[in-house]
C-alpha cells in the first residue's frame, strides 16, 4: 500500500514582517513544490495539487520566506508513515510559527485509493 501526505491549504494568520507581505514557499525534502508567492495576513492558498509519497521514506516539510540575502525559516515538520492510521482520516493542521510568522498548514494522510 502506498501512503501519501496530501497538502490541502496554507493559511497566513500573521506574516513574519508583522504587516508586510511574506514571499513564502514550501519545500518537501528540500524540493520547492510551491511558491514563492506573496502572502499577507488572511491569505489562503490551495495546495491540493501537492501530494508526497511517504511509503518508503519520511518527508520534511519546510515553510520558508524568500529574502534578498538569506531566506527565513518559518517552520518545519517531519511526517512519517509510522504516523499513518488507516482508521483516522481527519484533516490535520500543523502550525508554522518561527521568526514572528503564524501560518496554518492543513494536510491529510491517505492511502493510494483516496483522491481529494
Residue 110 to residues 45, 46, 99, Cα–Cα distance (Å): 21, 18, 31
Spatial contact of 36 and 24, defined as CB atoms under 8 Å apart: yes
Instruction: Calculate the average pLDDT of the chain.
Output: 92
How does pLDDT run across 51-68, given as a tens digit for each residue? Answer: 999 988 899 999 999 988
Per-domain residue ranges for the chain?
A: 3-111
Arithmetic mean of pLDDT, 66-95:
92
Cβ pair 24, 64 in contact under 8 A: yes
Is CATH 2.60.40.150 the right assignment for the domain spanning 3-111? yes
In this predicted structure, what is the pLDDT of residue 108? Answer: 94
Mean pLDDT, rounded, for 29-45: 96
The span from the CA of 1 to the CA of 91, in Å, is 20
- pLDDT at position 18, please? 74
Amino acid at each position: 500500500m502506498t501512503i501519501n501526505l496530501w497538502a490541502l491549504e496554507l493559511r497566513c494568520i500573521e506574516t513574519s514582517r508583522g504587516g508586510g507581505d511574506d514571499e513564502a514557499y514550501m519545500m518537501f525534502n528540500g524540493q520547492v513544490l510551491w511558491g514563492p508567492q506573496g502572502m499577507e495576513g488572511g491569505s489562503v492558498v490551495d495546495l491540493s495539487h501537492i501530494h508526497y509519497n511517504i511509503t518508503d521514506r519520511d518527508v520534511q516539510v519546510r515553510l520558508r520566506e524568500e529574502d534578498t540575502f538569506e531566506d527565513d525559516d518559518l517552520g518545519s515538520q517531519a511526517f512519517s508513515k509510522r504516523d499513518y492510521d488507516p482508521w483516522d482520516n481527519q484533516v490535520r493542521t500543523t502550525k508554522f510559527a518561527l521568526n514572528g510568522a503564524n501560518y496554518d498548514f492543513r494536510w491529510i494522510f491517505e492511502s493510494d485509493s483516496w483522491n481529494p
